[in-house]
Structure 1
């Protein structure tokens, strides 16, 4: 059945508007119940539940962490999301110039000398420079001498070849933390199917490019399978396939970007290999004892743990068992269900405490989104995948 994207978009906008009208009533109920508190700046803090500590805006929306330097949220998206923030083109576009403009990342970045006052005069630090946005003049970070800026357009234009060759669509693009970090996500045209003759699980293939301008990280391109049924990112390493390219901001970095472009065709091979391995897991039965051993492999028990850490471990184990039971109802008690449960936990339930250094302190939704974007938990997901793949040899 075909879906009218514009009709669906209008319906979601209507739902969001209704939710906004109901917010004040819901807010008063939650304030009276003591589940949220009002902050001095007009925002609210969640006090109970798994999202305790999360900061809500004055309208009751989770804080998004998007760049607001130009007065609006720096975001382009092909689907209604982020609480109606940014610029939405239902169905998406294949025009990179439009993506850069609507995503708020069409600005350039320049390097200027780092200055400091000393005894009434201004001196120049010969080892440091500041990266600065040319549209706002905002400083993005202090970087060492020799740091090479990778401009937003230069960083992403090499992905345009996939758009031209494979009819891929730009899914989203935006900037975080005042433009210090930018991203573009591309949706490939074909779905990936796991165990077509069995559970027939459909997965959407993406390629995501991430760039930073504050010296905190390399330019990266990652392949990211996304499972719509639960919103999980299934990014993990499989045999003989590339999942990530990383290029440091050093001399000739842009030349290496051109070299990386030639490897993007491997992303298709990654998804083919990934689907084969996931299908194998979907056909591998799993006993509960084996699932418990997997959990202990990922989070090794500590006999000397404090009472608090013991409670945390027990809560994690309970959540993982609950997620496995839910997944098993749909896909069977298999290694595939176990991997999905671990991924679901890491993506949506694992504790997260944004630090001040990240620029997202107190902003759990933005920090969790950045965690997914950068693949913080990729190693754990890959470890779970490798351990479960070994069960095929029983």
Structure 2
């Protein structure tokens, strides 16, 4: 008979756990020191390099201040079997989802693995008045046919575009029925879904310099709430979570959208013409970003761009001046971080401004929103698109001076 000293065994296990915790802490700090991640609030960090660049995650710590968990803010739904509602042809940055190496062409398989295997229907909008149930003739509700869960309130003419139609739309768009699906997933209980394929062309930004590689994707984002359109974008992002879904919309090279009506997805010719699925869009994208990457700028140049984007009136209040100074400090800090990665260039300046708007700029969440949801909503709705476009054009002018 073997006798185990549980106290000794516990001590050994605890020693192993502490050693692992210290190693995790050292590895995490090493990534910070190398400039791969940066702190943006006491418990939130942003990834600065690689495929995960721009992603945000939360670090929880125990009473001893050691890392207890690294929590990805993926925003993905959970399927009935408890797994994450995501299909991908290769592992996502957060390590979640159902992976089929090298992907599959079978729509039914992707629908099942991603949690998109449900239809959406509409039901009358009813209300109780004076003890009687009445119908609002001009409104209806979208609901899932598998669970009956309500998704949104819509007008009487609203016609749902089903999840399967998103796949078929992409097949017809590229004129191929052997499309290998790159990713597909489910957000907010089925209110939003995304599907993507990868285009064969890859784009390099400043091939002889920083050599940032941009892989083009075509993605469909469908909204079942009545607050958004069915849209298709050509984008450098692969949607694999709520963050990258909004990045795909934000950074789209071009996009096409249609309202939820009968025959909406049959407008393939218009979509193909608008999206122009050819290399010319990414060639222009590459040329402009390369120009920024090859344009050296001084800190004074960056400060002048900031002043153009966020001017300060001479009669501004003390509070406004304080907020203005805090914004400048935050932007300058991000610019310094980006210059360490890609040099003191206009490209670094653009990354700094975009990153500030997405992750640092103050957001006032509504009563039913968290700050993260408010940020995601702002990005999806393009709240800062004008500022980003103005910054891009202003930085391009620097190469001519």
- TM-score, normalised relative to structure 1: 0.73
Is residue 191 of structure 1 aligned with residue 202 of structure 2? yes
**Whole-Å Cα distance in 2 between the matches of residues 67 and 311 of structure 1?**
40
**Whole-Å Cα distance in 1 between the matches of residues 237 and 255 of structure 2?**
16
1:288 to 286, 292, 299: 299
Measured at CA, do residues 371 and 68 of structure 1 come closer, stay the same or move farther in structure 2, by a change above 3 Å? farther
Is residue 385 of structure 1 aligned with residue 395 of structure 2? no
Q: CA deviation at 1:62?
A: 5.0
1:66 to 56, 68, 76: 76
Measured at CA, do residues 75 and 258 of structure 1 come closer, stay the same or move farther in structure 2, by a change above 3 Å? farther
Q: CA deviation at 1:127?
A: 0.8
Q: Which has the larger radius of gyration?
A: 2
Task: Pick which of 204-213 and 326-335 moved more.
Answer: 326-335
Q: CA deviation at 1:352?
A: 4.0
**Whole-Å Cα distance in 1 between the matches of residues 93 and 285 of structure 2?**
29
Which ranges of structure 1 fall in alignment gaps of 5 or more residues?
1-17, 27-45
Q: CA deviation at 1:213?
A: 1.0
- Residue in 1 aligned with 2:155? 144
2:143 to 132, 136, 153: 132
- Residue in 1 aligned with 2:121? 110
**Whole-Å Cα distance in 2 between the matches of residues 319 and 166 of structure 1?**
48
RMSD between superposed Cα atoms in Å: 3.9
Alignment of 1:72-91 (within 5 A): 72-81=83-92, 83-91=94-102
What SS does structure 1 have at the residue aligned with 2:148?
coil
Residues 76, 185 of structure 2: 8 Å contact kept: yes
Q: CA deviation at 1:371?
A: 5.2
Residues 130, 140 of structure 1: 8 Å contact kept: yes
Matched residue count: 346
- Residue in 1 aligned with 2:330? 319
Measured at CA, do residues 87 and 237 of structure 1 come closer, stay the same or move farther in structure 2, by a change above 3 Å? closer
State the Cα deviation string for residues 18-48 of structure 1 (Å, max 9, x = none).
99x969x99xxxxxxxxxxxxxxxxxxx994
Which ranges of structure 2 fall in alignment gaps of 5 or more residues?
1-16, 26-39, 46-57, 61-67, 239-243
**Whole-Å Cα distance in 1 between the matches of residues 185 and 248 of structure 2?**
22
- Residue in 2 aligned with 1:259? 270
Residues 78, 171 of structure 1: 8 Å contact kept: yes
State the Cα deviation string for residues 238-296 of structure 1 (Å, max 9, x = none).
9xxx6121212245423335631454434532111111111222222223222112112
Task: Pick which of 370-379 and 104-113 moved more.
Answer: 370-379
What SS does structure 1 have at the residue aligned with 2:110?
helix
Measured at CA, do residues 247 and 197 of structure 1 come closer, stay the same or move farther in structure 2, by a change above 3 Å? same
Residues 234, 275 of structure 2: 8 Å contact kept: no
State the Cα deviation string for residues 318-356 of structure 1 (Å, max 9, x = none).
232222223333433222221122223234433445434
What SS does structure 1 have at the residue aligned with 2:71?
coil
Answer 1 or 2: higher relative contact order, Cα 8 Å, separation at least 6.
1
- TM-score, normalised relative to structure 2: 0.72
**Whole-Å Cα distance in 2 between the matches of residues 236 and 213 of structure 1?**
20
**Whole-Å Cα distance in 2 between the matches of residues 207 and 382 of structure 1?**
21
Measured at CA, do residues 83 and 273 of structure 1 come closer, stay the same or move farther in structure 2, by a change above 3 Å? closer
Residues 250, 380 of structure 2: 8 Å contact kept: no
**Whole-Å Cα distance in 1 between the matches of residues 96 and 265 of structure 2?**
32
Measured at CA, do residues 382 and 63 of structure 1 come closer, stay the same or move farther in structure 2, by a change above 3 Å? closer
